[in-house]
Amino acid sequence: MALYLMLVFLALASALLAGYSMAGGRSRNWLHMVAFVAVMASAVYVIIDIEFPRLGLVRVDAFDQALVELRATMD
């Protein structure tokens, strides 16, 4: 739970700092805003994906199978 709260706080603090720095300008650069959103979303996704290694893109099924085979050789 603490990990999710820290991720939410990081995203909000980063958005606050980015918005504060862009507030002084005359126009907004859409490329920077889209890049910021993409980087923050991908960072949060990767961190959550590493937290649950059996559900997302990071898979440990092969490692689990190696442990099962190792255990079978110990008997």
Task: Give pLDDT tens digits for 54-65.
Answer: 787 877 778 888
**Closest Cα partner for 6 from 47, 34, 46?**
47
The reported pLDDT for the residue numbered 24 is: 80
How many Cβ atoms sit within 10 Å of the Cβ of residue 20? 9
> Domain limits of the chain?
2-74
Task: Give pLDDT tens digits for 10-56.
Answer: 888 888 888 888 888 788 788 888 888 888 888 888 888 888 877 87
